[in-house]
Amino acid sequence: MALSDLFTRRPAAPTPPAEDPAPTVWPQIGETWKPEGVTVVQRYYNQAHAVVLVYTASKRYRYGVACLGCHYTKAPSAASDWMELSDAAEAANAHAGTCRALPRDLPARPDDDTVHKLLHTRVREHQNRVTEQEFRIDALDRARLTIQRTNPWIEAALRKLADEHPDLLLVRTSHEDSLRFFVRPYTPAS
Ligand SMILES: [Zn+2]
């Protein structure tokens, strides 16, 4: 020991701050979220670090945008309409640049019964008094982060709905062997 050590008063070493216990579960804000039934192709941060997703539900030419901070969504609502990746990316980027909503909880995956009811409602919304309407799974694009189911699951659910409600929904096989669903017009009560 050096002599000077005996006479030099050293400031007490600061006590290290008590460390925050590591959270056992980090808040999931959607940076790695892979909701069932869609492919997330791009993610942006908004001004408060909430994630804005660009996703596609099936075919690669139809994209949608959803903010996991506020409830902003942009996706084609009709099967006849669609959004290219560049348009979706532009919308997501523009939204991320202005949105200040904090990350909200990720949408929970609903149970099967809830999704069956939702599909039933959506099919009924396509019904009119006059003509048969095709119901395409594409029409659900905007709801896919709520539904969180694959296309085959949705197809099976629509077949079940057609079995249970033949007066509402018909299934036909197209010449490419894919299934097509048609909503029947209202029949007047007799
Ligand atoms: Zn937002």
pLDDT string in tens for the chain (190-residue length): 555 555 556 666 666 666 666 656 667 899 999 999 999 999 999 999 999 999 998 766 789 999 999 999 998 777 677 889 999 999 999 999 999 999 999 999 999 999 999 999 999 999 988 899 999 998 898 899 999 999 999 999 999 999 999 999 999 987 777 889 999 998 766 5
Dump pLDDT digits (tens) for 131-163: 999 999 988 988 999 999 999 999 999 999 999
Residues in the chain: 190
Say if CB 4 and CB 24 are below 8 A apart.
Answer: no
Q: What is the dihedral angle through the alpha carbons of 140, 145, 146, 147, rounded to the nearest 10 degrees?
A: 60
Cα–ligand 1 centroid distance for 70 (angstroms): 4
Q: List the structure tokens of 17.
A: 């701050």
Closest of 89, 95, 94 to residue 69, by C-alpha: 95
CA of 25 to the centre of ligand 1 (A): 24
- How many C-beta atoms lie closer than 10 Å to residue 75's C-beta? 23
Report CA(101)–ligand 1 centroid distance (Å). 6
Task: With H, G, I as helix, E, B as strand and everything else as coil, classify residue 151.
Answer: helix
Q: State in Å: Cα 85 to ligand 1 middle.
A: 19
Could you tell me which residues are beta bridge partners of residue 52?
Answer: 44, 67
**How big is the chain by its Cα radius of gyration, in Å?**
26
Cα 124 to ligand 1 centroid, rounded to whole Å = 30
pLDDT of 165: 96
CA 27 – CA 9 distance, rounded (Å):
46
The full set of domain ranges for the chain reads: 39-98, 112-183
**Tokens standing for residue 128:** 């009119």
